[in-house]
Amino acid sequence: DLVAGARRVGALSVVAADLGRAGSADDVRAVALKVRERLGSDAAVVALGGEVDDRPVVIVATTEAARSLGVKAGPLAKAAATTLGGGGGGRDDLAQGGGSDVSALARALDDVVAGLPRP
């Protein structure tokens, strides 16, 4: 269960996971949104990665409480995408990144966590 595996980073609950092979980026996004919904009113960030057609994709979703702390999904997804050898971005609440280096997916998810504010 992804929610049960959430860890604390400063004031945030963080779910970061590689889902493995996925049918589409939409599939990864749907899981990220479901996890974000289950985290409810927590200040939380969800960063999920997957492999779609031999290419890595990362979806970052933030809760309203996380955004009130200044956490924005767009820059986090962009940082992950840079690690993946590609590009990304999006809104404050939901963003996507991708690239060409599937082997860098774990490192890209680590970059999302590293980019989070700490007390």
pLDDT digits (tens, 9 = 90+) for 28-83: 999 999 999 999 999 999 999 999 999 999 999 999 999 999 999 999 999 999 99
Give me the number of domains the chain comprises: 1
| DSSP 8-class letter at 78 | H
Q: What is the pLDDT of residues 81-98, one digit of tens each?
A: 999 999 999 999 999 999
Burial of 100 (0-12, 13-18, 19+ CB in 10 A): exposed
- pTM for the model: 0.97
Q: Is residue 68 part of a domain?
A: yes
Q: Is residue 55 part of a domain?
A: yes
Q: Is residue 32 part of a domain?
A: yes
Q: Residue 65 in contact with residue 12, Cβ under 8 Å?
A: no
Q: Residue 40 in contact with residue 64, Cβ under 8 Å?
A: no
Q: Is residue 1 part of a domain?
A: no
Q: Is residue 105 part of a domain?
A: yes
| Mean pLDDT score of the chain | 97
In degrees and rounded to multiples of 5, residue 12 shows phi and psi of -105, 145
Range of the domain at 34: 7-114
